[in-house]
Amino acid sequence: AQSVTQLDSQVPVFEEAPVELRCNYSSSVSVYLFWYVQYPNQGLQLLLKYLSGSTLVESINGFEAEFNKSQTSFHLRKPSVHISDTAEYFCAVSDRLLTGGGNKLTFGTGTQLKVEL
Amino acid sequence: DAGVTQSPTHLIKTRGQQVTLRCSPISGHKSVSWYQQVLGQGPQFIFQYYEKEERGRGNFPDRFSARQFPNYSSELNVNALLLGDSALYLCASSSRWTSENTEAFFGQGTRLTVV
């Protein structure tokens, strides 16, 4: 069984300030890691993912996340946020070697990022 | 190219009724998964279908069922609706059914309200 913990339900931050959204996971097997973003009244959009290779992954809009296997974490960071980054952010994991196949995602409860002027 | 499309976008049903939600995956994608997102929570996995066969099932009662058609579109059915079934139902499509190099693309969801 897998679980994802997002300790911060809400993170308020001023525009142009840095932000970190925390994500920790628990799994008995190796996992793939994802961050999804959800804007109001919309579905989920993939922000970035870690599958293998470099533990630091980046998105096209300035977000980055680092996979830390020893701490079972995949925290999301951005050095300078914009008003348009206001949204809900979900961390998710997928079993690398799911018995019988499948690509089920296990999500955290989400972190609401609110960027203020 | 069209993304994942879901219909309807909003739906209001009465307790005890039955509902059918529809999903069309991205062209060329053969895997469809369904998730339930209750307000304030993360999405919970319900089903995955690939090549018209069920490949995964989450911890949901038998009132929930789904199927996938030859064109890879999918329907999610929920019988005997309860107030607790009120949620955003998300459909995700992917080109593969295994975890390897997984990327799921989500639709905008169907907002179901049970009264």
Element (H, E) at A68: strand A64-68
- Which tokens hold the place of A79? 């050095």
Provide the residue count of chain B: 115
Q: Collect all residues of chain A within an 8 Å Cβ-Cβ radius of residue B56.
A: 98, 100, 102, 104
Q: Collect all residues of chain B within an 8 Å Cβ-Cβ radius of residue A109.
A: 40-42
pLDDT tens track, chain A, 117 positions: 789 999 999 999 999 999 999 999 998 888 889 999 999 878 899 999 998 888 899 998 899 999 999 999 999 999 999 999 999 999 999 887 655 456 789 999 999 999 999
Torsion region of A7: left, alpha or beta (phi above 0 gives left; psi -120 to 50 gives alpha): alpha
State the best of B48, B99, B108 to mutate against chain A, taking most chain A CBs within 10 Å.
B99
Q: Among residues 21-50 of chain B, which lie with CB inside 8 Å of chain A?
A: 31, 33, 35, 40-45, 48, 50
Q: Beta-carbon neighbour count of residue B81 at 10 Å?
A: 19
pLDDT value for B55: 87
**Which of B4, B98, B106 lies closest to A103 in CB terms?**
B98
Closest-CA residue of chain A to B39: A109
